[in-house]
A and B are shown apart, each in its own frame.
Chain A
Amino acid sequence: MASQRKISAANRHWRWFTNNLASGLAVLSTILVIAPLVAIFIDLVYKGASSLNFSFFTKLPAPVGETGGGMANAIVGSGVLLVLASAIGVPMGIAAGIYLSEYGRGTKLSNVVRFTADVLNGVPSIVMGISVYALIVVPQKGFSAFAGGVALGIMMIPTVARTTEEMLLMVPLSIREAALGLGVPAWRSVLSITLRTAMPGVITGCMLAFARVAGETAPLLFTALGNDFWSTSLRQPIEALPLQIYVYALGPYDEWHRLAWAGSLVLIVLIVVSVSLVRYVTTRGVLKGAT
């Protein structure tokens, strides 16, 4: 009897100990996960903000050895690339999302398309880069902003399609029925009723895809290539913010590192703002008319 009680006491202590050990480890791992994030943000803000100035946004990169200079051409170039990418990725993504939710719901084909979109999402961006290189740069015999925009646009399609589909699925059937009951053609009902109702959600999906490709470097290495001078032509190589950060980070000069931090800060602010916007909208109710 006494020995049994002793064992059970030891057992209880052991269980108490493992319970606290496991809880402690869970807390510790959370801290370890958050620590690099905080470190990255502090470094970015501290190093980036101290080197951000007006000329960063207005000047071309300075020649090697000179201080000053900016990334104006990279900012404009990123803008050109992202506009082109959105022009390709957003309409095609939304259209594919509409098909998945409105026409192919529950069919085998739409399941396969959905699965393929998820898989395409996981294809490394560098592979996308060399495919577009083989597809566009080789036949045209030159790097171009067009090729870079296509590479980024293709990467946007699966993300936009999947979020559009998820948002459209939340629109109640009664709204579609009401529109069709009034004799509205199916295509008008999809565009002006279903899609419109889900619009805030669809827009956040597009922002998410936009934020993702805004930071992509690998698909641009062999398509847009980079350019030290002003260029907005689609047929010429063009500079982009992530490309410039990559080149400057690997360079040996402190001045370059300074500019790379500043460029990263600009990029991160752009991305964090859009991700926070997405979170704000999704937690505030996605659908406008439907309750």
Chain B
Amino acid sequence: MNLRIQEPRAPKSETAEPVGGLVPVAVPAPASGIRSFLQSRGSSAAADSTFRWLMLASALSIFAIVALIATELVTHSELTLSKFGLKFFFGSAWDPVNANFGALPFVYGTLVSSLLALVLAVPLAVGTAIFLTEMCPKALRGILSFLTELLAAIPSVVYGLWGLLIMVPLLRSYVDPILIKLLGWTGLFAAPDFGIGMFAAGVILAIMILPIISSLTREVMTAVPHTQREAVLALGATRWEMIRMGVLRNARIGIVGSIILGLGRALGETMAVAMVIGSSPTIAKSLLAPAATMASVIANEFAEASDDTYRSALIEIGLALFLVTIVVNICARLLVWAVTRGTPAREA
């Protein structure tokens, strides 16, 4: 978002002394008697420390929430955790009737749909970021970046509605036949084609993660100092060579970070995918076949999961999703921070 404005760094005074644990304020020595008197006044001191503890407790509640999510997920998936162990993620049988659960089709579905989305979205997002930072006239830049921000604000369920009622029929009648004709020999695009399926999920995911990747990439590219561009241009480079050698090379770590952040979003995206993927717990070679992801199977089957093992299996999938997205997010944040905070890439 646009809210990330650089904080004005205040110079820290050497003689600073914390007042009530607050901001350093320089206080002349003779006044310290008055100050300690003021601070020791009953009500204010008590109120100050109470307030401080309240704020601290609220900050710590963020840890508590993460811990709570983890423990709730673990305790409620104990049944399948102990029954299937690690085999749960390598078995491909999803048979609620006989209480036999393997999550491999959903892991596969999540990975393939997210990768498909990245393949479609990354070139477009980087292209858009290049256009917006390096080529675009100023007047247009404001409008376009606002539009991409709006794209990020549309709720998932509205994407799903649009995907299901508008995009899927379009894919089925115009795009898929071309893909089958051109790439049918690979086996990745094979009839029967219902419109809904892995490919539709990948496309809608790509549309959804585009704004995140492109706005973060833009941020990282703007952080590349102008001297880099000027130096490359001074050597006689064309604009594209300047972008390739002066900008992209310096921003690459941050761009990878933003791609991973987009991946994290794609892995956990639920509603839009659940609406267009066709929810079938199978692993098919054809991308046009219906499939299911980890998030979509929870959304589609949790309400009808009647017995405890079934529910526990779905919660265990949720637990896995939680852990995977946390790891992916941590990697991405570290990469983006490395670029926008410290400057390993800027010096390169």
Contacts and interface: CB of A to CB of B under 8 A. Distances in A.
A169 B3 contact: no
Contact of A103 (B7, B56, B155, B159): B56
Nearest to B19: A180
A95 B55 contact: yes
A104 B59 CA distance: 10
Nearest to B319: A127
Given A33-B210, A119-B330, A127-B318, A157 B72 contact: no
Given A37-B147, A173-B23, A215-B156, A116 B66 contact: yes
Interface string B63-82: 10110110011011000000
Interface string A1-42: 000000000000001101101110111111011101101100
A128 interface: yes
Interface residues of A, number: 109
Interface stretch (B95-103, B122-130, B226-234, B280-288): B122-130
Interface in A234-260: 242, 245-246, 249-250, 257, 260
Contact of A245 (B72, B161, B303): B161
The range of chain B's interface size is: 35 or more
A216 to B, nearest CB: 7
Contacts of B55: 95-96, 98-99, 102-103
Interface in B35-84: 38, 44, 47-48, 50-52, 54-63, 65-66, 68-69, 72-73, 75-76
A123 B54 CA distance: 26
27 contacts: A26-B128, A29-B123, A33-B128, A44-B162, A95-B59, A99-B56, A102-B55, A103-B52, A113-B62, A115-B333, A116-B62, A123-B329, A126-B299, A127-B321, A135-B68, A157-B65, A161-B62, A172-B8, A190-B22, A215-B156, A218-B156, A218-B295, A221-B302, A221-B303, A245-B158, A249-B161, A264-B161
Considering the complex of A and B, which 10 residue pairs feature the smallest CB-CB distances, nearest first? A215-B155, A124-B268, A29-B127, A95-B58, A187-B51, A186-B20, A122-B329, A22-B240, A169-B7, A99-B55
Interface of A: 15-16, 18-19, 21-23, 25-30, 32-34, 36-37, 39-40, 43-44, 91-93, 95-96, 98-100, 102-105, 109-110, 113, 115-120, 122-128, 130-131, 133-135, 138, 154, 157-158, 161, 163, 166-167, 169-170, 172-173, 176-177, 180-181, 183, 185-187, 189-190, 201, 204-205, 208, 211-212, 214-218, 221-222, 242, 245-246, 249-250, 257, 260-261, 264, 267-268, 271-272, 275, 278-279, 282-283, 286
